[in-house]
């Protein structure tokens, strides 16, 4: 391994350690009650080290969400491609595909979903800097547009009832996050994880109501 490669590896390892510590602190204390000092203390580095890799608390927080948002974009594009290639023969298969997509998203990084939930529950968008809001606005809009377009295709294929695609997209995403939050709360009490079963049952039952008969 060359000197350049070793330094790059060490840099990436430091970033991952900071992000791992930040994820735990943000989840425990929330965004507003977390300081850069808290994160630095958790990972046993100086505050200056954190700022060396992340210009602000905003930037660090968003770095925890972006991989999940990018993965959602990838999964939505794959789903849309499958729809266009005729892989879903009816409404039931179409809805099952959406359920599988959400399950895959959760498997990708369950902890990132926690960070995303804090972002929405604490209404953090308005607290972020304008450059950060621009980044989130751009990638968030891209995913929402994709989901809306997929739902529109489902309606045009005769799989779904002719309902408002925007409202359906909001409903699907909001329901997904709500189920994740509910199951996480139940896990703290019972120590039993039924998230995947609950997601499958809820969406399969719930989405039956929007299938075109």
Q: Where are the domains of the chain?
A: 1-54, 57-208
Q: What would be the CATH architecture of the domain defined by 1-54? A: Orthogonal Bundle (1.10)
User: CA–CA distance from 84 to each of 14, 27, 123, 150, 155 (Å)?
Assistant: 42, 39, 36, 10, 13
Q: Which of 18, 11, 10 is nearest to 36 (CA)?
A: 18
Domain 1-54 and domain 57-208 have a common topology: no
Read off the pLDDT of residues 51-109 as tens digits, 9 standing for 90 and up: 999 999 989 998 998 899 999 999 999 999 999 999 999 888 898 898 899 889 988 98
Q: What would be the CATH architecture of the domain defined by 57-208? A: Orthogonal Bundle (1.10)
**Alpha-carbon gap, residue 58 to 45, rounded angstroms:** 19
Read off the pLDDT of residues 101-154 as tens digits, 9 standing for 90 and up: 988 998 898 888 888 878 877 678 887 888 888 888 888 899 999 999 999 999
Read off the pLDDT of residues 18-32 as tens digits, 9 standing for 90 and up: 999 999 999 889 888
Alpha carbon dihedral 129, 67, 119, 109, in 10-degree steps, equals -160
- What's residue 213's pLDDT? 64
Backbone angles phi, psi at 190, to 5 degrees: -95, -20
**Alpha-carbon gap, residue 154 to 151, rounded angstroms:** 5
């Amino acid at each position: 391994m060359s000197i350049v490669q070793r330094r790059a590896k060490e840099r990436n390892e430091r970033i991952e350690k900071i992000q791992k510590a930040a994820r735990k602190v943000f989840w425990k204390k929330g965004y507003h009650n977390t300081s850069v000092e808290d994160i630095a203390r958790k990972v046993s580095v100086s505050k200056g080290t954190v700022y060396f890799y992340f210009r602000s608390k905003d930037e660090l927080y968003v770095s925890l969400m972006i991989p999940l948002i990018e993965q959602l974009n990838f999964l939505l594009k794959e789903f849309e491609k499958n729809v266009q290639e005729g892989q879903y023969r009816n409404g039931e298969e179409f809805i099952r595909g959406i359920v599988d997509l959400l399950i895959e998203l959760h498997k990708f990084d369950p902890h990132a979903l926690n960070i995303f939930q804090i972002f929405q529950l604490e209404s953090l968008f308005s607290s972020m800097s304008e450059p950060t809001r621009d980044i989130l606005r751009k990638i968030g809009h891209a995913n929402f547009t994709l989901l809306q377009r997929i739902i529109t295709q489902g309606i045009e294929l005769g799989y779904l009832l002719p309902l408002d695609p925007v409202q359906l997209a909001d409903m699907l995403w909001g329901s997904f996050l709500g189920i994740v939050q509910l199951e996480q709360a139940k896990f703290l009490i019972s120590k039993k994880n039924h998230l995947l079963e609950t997601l499958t049952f809820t969406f399969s039952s719930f989405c039956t109501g929007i299938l075109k008969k």
